[in-house]
């Protein structure tokens, strides 16, 4: 497995205090010069909310007549949990749904809004009660930037141009007048716009060459008036290792029309046999870790293509869908993609976020799929109950990296072996924030072995260290509505700091975030 972080030594060492003959493998990690390092964009920690299953309806949105405490119909407990997470952006309304969505259906008095059928997700009736105002006001409450996904597959150029004018224009215009008539005077000034979604699939089954032309047309008519710095337009990107797709977009779309190119990669064992989200074997766990590590190779290879056409790295890579994908919980609607979230998902989150951090020079934005009740959710709800998943806790522990300067690391990971195959057991990223606080996030995906790491920190002037860990007795451990706190972060002190050398033992299947100042 190729790793973004390079080589070092795994060696055997006798440690003071260890038994006379006791020896253990120690992975030495060196921290390089951060001089030329990029900032880790906070937008890497973005989220995604689609009109899918119970993400919006009976998830975020319960309606303003609900007995569940809410603000304009959105649950207060969800708003509070996401604010604590400091989510930087939220993508909406899809996904596949976005290319069926006609935004004018979701504005004006609710009783006048038409219904549609959500053809991608469960064939249920969508009453459009949650629309543009609801979403953008929610983003304001979350202090998160909205990322609107425009309908290219079944919508017209004029329709998308109108949506941009409706939400962004602050002078007099047909669409801004309509917005004011619907109760909102000030424009929201939405910067992030997706120009279609999965154009190679649910967004229209287009060829890359055809989509590149379509993109040019739609992007041309999306006006950046009123948005400081102009719009940030994101092209519907490749699925997994479709490098031809990225090549064509980078080659055929003028870069002045293009701020980001997307990439979708899910950690899924086999689309025909995804396996349970809770009852899985170690081999299935290993396979999911293998699919998660693949993100490293995908980013390296898509970035290399982008480098050819854009050596100055002006166009960003936006991984606007990622996460673990399993079979739905038995008895739930197969089109609703409702799954549990275990220690395995915490490993995916820690590992993939480290990969994004370490590629902060090209990866500027990412969106975990999805926020509430769908796929690798950070929040699950049942009636008035709400729980934070293990993935929530990892995102919360990692938020310290947002907008901090990446510190380059060099090491060679020991292996995690299962079923005759092996993967790097350790994934690590580090950053220094603007107040000179050091943060290092470690993931040990090994299902049964602890691994010890050493890092020289003296050069960073670190005097005080503290750490948090997320782990569980079993890979399958998770939070439930009866036991909402079964998995949660705890203080971690299994490390020493002597003569400027940090030594830390990472338990099996654990995420540890260390803070130094
Ligand atoms: O996140 C669920 C779906 O996965 C999205 O709607 C689509 O873009 C992707 O295929």
Ligand 1 lined by 237 (C-beta under 6 Å):
no
Mutating to test ligand 1, I would choose from 200, 264, 369, 374 the residue with most ligand atoms within 8 A of its C-beta, which is 369
Rg for the chain, CA atoms, rounded: 23
Other CB atoms within 10 Å distance of the CB of residue 296: 22
Residue nearest to atom 6 of ligand 1 (CA): 95
Ligand 1 lined by 367 (C-beta under 6 Å):
no
Ligand 1 lined by 78 (C-beta under 6 Å):
no
On whether the CB atoms of residues 118 and 97 are closer than 8 A, the answer is yes
| Calpha distance 439→428 (Å, rounded) | 11
Ligand 1 lined by 95 (C-beta under 6 Å):
yes
pLDDT of residue 18: 36
Token pair listed for 294 = 């693949």
* 3 state DSSP class of 447: coil
Other CB atoms within 10 Å distance of the CB of residue 480: 14
Ligand 1 lined by 99 (C-beta under 6 Å):
no
pLDDT of residue 10: 33
> Minimal CA–CA distance to 260: which of 231, 299, 289?
231
| Calpha distance 183→25 (Å, rounded) | 64
pLDDT tens for the chain, 517 residues long, are: 333 333 232 333 333 333 334 457 999 999 998 888 999 999 999 999 999 999 999 999 999 999 999 999 999 999 999 999 999 999 999 999 999 999 999 999 999 999 999 999 999 999 999 999 999 999 999 999 999 999 999 999 999 999 999 999 999 999 999 999 999 999 999 999 999 999 999 999 999 999 999 999 999 999 898 899 999 999 999 999 999 999 999 999 999 999 999 999 999 999 999 999 999 999 999 999 999 999 999 999 999 999 999 999 999 999 999 999 999 999 999 999 999 999 999 999 999 999 999 999 999 999 999 999 999 999 999 999 999 999 999 999 999 999 999 999 999 999 999 999 999 999 999 999 999 999 999 999 999 999 999 999 989 989 899 999 999 999 999 999 999 999 999 999 999 999 999 999 999 999 999 999 9
Ligand 1 lined by 198 (C-beta under 6 Å):
yes
DSSP H helical ranges for 188-261: 208-220, 243-252
Ligand 1 lined by 446 (C-beta under 6 Å):
no
| Calpha distance 300→306 (Å, rounded) | 10
Token pair listed for 333 = 């609607």
Residue nearest to atom 3 of ligand 1 (CA): 95
From the CA of 434, how far away is ligand 1's center (Å)? 36
Looking from the CA of residue 96, the nearest atom of ligand 1 is 6
pTM: 0.94
Instruction: Sketch out the chain's domains with CATH numbers.
Output: 2-38+407-516 (2.60.40.1180), 42-403 (3.20.20.80)
Looking from the CA of residue 120, the nearest atom of ligand 1 is 6
Residue nearest to atom 2 of ligand 1 (CA): 95
Looking from the CA of residue 48, the nearest atom of ligand 1 is 1
pLDDT of residue 11: 32
From the CA of 409, how far away is ligand 1's center (Å)? 33
| Calpha distance 134→450 (Å, rounded) | 47
From the CA of 201, how far away is ligand 1's center (Å)? 10
Q: Which residues are known catalytic residues?
A: 198, 321
């Amino acid at each position: 497995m190729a790793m973004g972080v390079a080589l070092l030594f795994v060696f055997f060492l006798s440690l003071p205090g260890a038994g006379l003959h006791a020896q253990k493998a120690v992975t030495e990690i060196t921290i390089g010069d951060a001089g030329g390092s990029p900032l880790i964009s906070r937008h890497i920690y973005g989220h995604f909310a689609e009109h899918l299953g119970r993400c919006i309806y009976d998830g975020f949105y319960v309606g303003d007549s609900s007995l569940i405490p809410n603000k304009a119909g959105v649950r207060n407990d969800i708003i509070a949990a996401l604010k604590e997470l400091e989510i930087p952006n939220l993508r909406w309304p899809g996904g596949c749904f976005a290319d069926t969505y006609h935004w004018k259906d979701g504005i004006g008095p609710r009783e006048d809004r038409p219904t549609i059928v959500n053809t991608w997700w469960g064939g249920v009736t969508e009453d459009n009660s949650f629309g543009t105002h609801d979403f953008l006001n929610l983003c304001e409450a979350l202090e998160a930037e909205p990322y609107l996904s425009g309908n290219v597959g079944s919508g017209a150029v004029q329709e998308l141009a109108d949506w941009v004018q409706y939400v962004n224009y602050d002078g007099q215009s047909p669409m801004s007048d309509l917005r004011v008539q619907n109760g909102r005077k000030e424009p929201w000034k939405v910067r992030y716009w997706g120009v279609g979604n999965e154009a190679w699939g649910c967004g229209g089954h287009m060829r890359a060459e055809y989509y590149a032309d379509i993109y040019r047309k739609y992007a041309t008519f999306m006006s950046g008036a009123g948005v400081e710095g102009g719009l940030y337009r994101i092209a519907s990107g490749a699925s997994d290792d479709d490098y031809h797709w990225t090549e064509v977009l980078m080659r055929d779309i003028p870069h002045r029309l293009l701020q980001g190119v997307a990439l979708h990669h899910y950690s899924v064992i086999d689309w025909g046999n995804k396996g349970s989200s809770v009852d899985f074997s170690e081999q299935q766990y290993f396979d999911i870790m293998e699919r998660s590590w693949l993100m490293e190779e995908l980013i390296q290879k898509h970035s290399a293509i982008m480098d050819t056409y854009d050596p100055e790295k002006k166009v960003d890579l936006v991984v606007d869908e990622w996460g673990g994908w399993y079979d739905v919980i038995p008895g739930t609607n197969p089109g609703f993609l409702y799954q549990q979230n275990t220690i395995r998902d915490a490993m995916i989150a820690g590992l993939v976020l480290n990969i994004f951090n370490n590629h902060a020079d090209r990866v500027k934005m990412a969106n975990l799929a999805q926020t509430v009740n769908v796929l690798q959710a950070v929040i699950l709800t049942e009636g008035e109950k709400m729980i934070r998943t293990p993935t929530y806790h990892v995102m919360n522990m990692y938020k310290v990296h947002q907008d901090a300067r990446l510190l380059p690391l060099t090491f060679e990971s020991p292996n995690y072996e299962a079923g005759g195959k092996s993967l790097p057991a350790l994934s690590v990223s580090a950053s220094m924030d603007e107040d000179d606080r050091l943060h290092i996030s470690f993931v040990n995906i090994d299902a049964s072995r602890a691994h010890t790491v050493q890092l020289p920190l003296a050069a960073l002037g670190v005097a005080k260290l503290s750490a948090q860990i997320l782990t569980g007795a079993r890979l399958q451990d998770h939070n439930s509505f009866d036991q909402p706190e079964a998995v949660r972060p705890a203080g971690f002190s299994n490390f020493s700091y002597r003569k400027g050398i940090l030594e830390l033992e990472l338990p099996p299947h654990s995420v540890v975030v260390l803070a130094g100042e």
